[in-house]
Structure 1
Amino acid sequence: MTGFLTSLLAFVVAIGVLVTVHEYGHFLAARLMGVKVLRFSVGFGRPLWSRRFGSDRTEFAIASIPLGGYVKMLDGREGEVPPGEEHRAFDRQGLGARTFVVSAGPAANFLLAIAVFAVMFMIGVGGVRPVVGEITPGSPAAEAGLERGEEIVRIAGREVGDWEQANLRLLDHAVRGDTVPLVVRDADGREVERRLDLSARAELLGEGQFLDRLGVAPFRPQLGAVIGQVESGSPADRAGLQTGDRVVAMNGDSVAGWNAWVERIRASAGSELSVTLERDGTRRQVTLTPEPVEAEEGTIGRIGAGVDPDQPAMRELSVIVRQGPVEAIGSGAVRTWEVTTLTLGILWRMVTGEASVKNISGPVTIAEFAGTSAVIGISAFLGFLGIVSVSLGIINLLPIPMLDGGHLLYYAAEAVKGSPVSEKTQIVGQQIGLLMIAALMILAFYNDLTRLFG
């Protein structure tokens, strides 16, 4: 229950921030263009809170359904415009002003992404050095000659510092279908070039983890079964496990290390286990029952405890990237650009059938990721927020009626033909847009339910 509440709270906070920033972009642009704003609402449906501010008595509201928001402007198409305020109605503005107001929402999301990524880099981003672990025989990684223990140094001439960055860069080249040069450092410290064929887009961009399809796993050192962070209210917490406990045995069988411990926990969903711990030089017995959770491979056990990262083998693989304000802003802009181009590329491959539509996630999966990142720490949550902010900006720019991109499409047509699109065409477009959005939401919910229930 605690995990669910954490995910729910993190999701509401994330969506609240993203929607507020998006709508504030529209609001600020409208004010700059002299358009009168009637209401600024975060959420849809019945208002839970509302107040009026400013000379225009603009209503600011928080509504009951936290899955979006809107800025309502004075508009002759939606009601009567008071005499003397015609010049402040949105529909009376020039093409440039209307385009600016509509574009400002998505633009605000991209600026937010740059900001949160920059703060993330200033706080410090923890990662794992891109050292190669197990290689799947016959996979693209195997055919490229990658070997266990090699560290990826450069991808297509660009330095990489951790697995997250390596994964992002490799995925970007997979979307393009490139054969990409890699420079790796072998066990003797020599730099060797490999060539990785990523042309099989349909395979590499299918359902599941990209690195699994690539045939490479991050290197996992032999770690002791020492407990690190314990989630509040989790099975580990209820059983009395604490940070620093060393797991000695389970049901009378010795536990060799962390990987062996994790495998046995995953295989024991819903089963009561007798666990022997060593704490402060004293051994004690506890009873632990892993909670069943759904994963791609089926039902697995989970206890809500991580490995102690302060072990020599872990410290050798860990990296922390921390930057000053100026450098962090530059890195934030670069990360936003990388996520944007990658997202657009994957969306296009979905349209052409070269990427699985099962990669589309709905609110359930987003909430799960929000909760997980919030538990990991502020940097992880900021990274999650930046990625979703980019996604929200891109989705709103899609040329679908009802979205900002649909309005911009109408304005482009208006610029070409010299007059606004007819009201009848706009009504038909809205109906098509509603169907497209509904279909997208149904697909996203279906994917969420499939992940949850297999």
Structure 2
Amino acid sequence: MLSTIVAFILLLGVLMFFHELGHYLAARRSGIEVEEFGVWGFPPRLVKLFTYDGTIFSINAIPLGAFVRMKGEDAADMSPGSFNAASAGARAFTLIAGPAMNLLLAVLFSVAGMMSGVPADVARPQVDAVPPGGVAAQVGVEPGDILLRAAGEPVYVAAATGDFLRLAELGEGDATGPSSGVEVIRKGTRITLAEAQDVTPQALLAETSYTPVLTTQITFVVEETPAAAAGLLPGDMVYAVNGERVTPERTLSDLVQEHLGETVTLTVLRGDEWMQVDVLARENPPPGQGAMGVGISGVVRLVSLPLGEAIWEGVAQITTYIYSVLALPVML
């Protein structure tokens, strides 16, 4: 309980500091004199930190925010440099600057969060074509190869778009592998292309055409179902159904639905082992079990977005949040 109270006071103090900093900077820019900037808390004053350009910076006794005291905040003072003597535009600018600073802070926090790590559905790229003479061809990448690592870095792409994604945190299995060269799965076997040295994931992906694969994993298996009888396990990653790859465009559910009432052959990756598993796709399964009796999900990793994309996503996230808040009264 005490830690929650302390955390609330600290967070409120930070938010209010930047809010009042916006007022302070806008006031000075508009020629309004600021008599005191309480960077922490409300009066009575505990400590006078320093005086800068006529403004006292202080720490105060009531730790519930911060404040800026401008000259002439009461309507009676119309002397030069007072708030009320400033133009209407300057006063509006000064008042708006506080909320605007909080908005900017929210965007910065959101962008920092996107860069430090955000959950994303990921996939492995399987090479469809290799142009002759390029880097991929020179290091020995072949059509059909599933790229795993390059220059010691795991190779993941966004399941939906195929864009390269850099992991913010290594998951199980991501930390193991060669520190140099290109590691691929070729015809079911992990191999490292010895001639590849410092080829980056981006360089490989930039010049090859590929399809995101291994996008779907089994999360649970219902007892006494075809999946349980076939030996499927949570964590199994489904690569193909009857030889057709599972992709964002052709999902596992789509492929299984086309063969209801039939036994389908799943190509499954379990750890480093490839398996062929025959499973009955039931036509009328019990509610909530699905045709085979499994739960599935995308493969989620914590990824770090590059600066440009992080800014775009951060602004979009805050904009969506603001819209949701503004729309709430209408929805009620």
The TM tier, using the shorter chain, reads: 0.3 to 0.5
| Structure with the higher fraction of residues in helix conformation | 1
Q: RCO greater where, 1 or 2, for CA within 8 Å and sep 6 or more?
A: 1
Return the index of the structure with the highest Cα Rg: 2
**TM-score (normalizing by structure 2):** 0.45
**TM-score (normalizing by structure 1):** 0.34
| Structure with the higher fraction of residues in strand conformation | 2
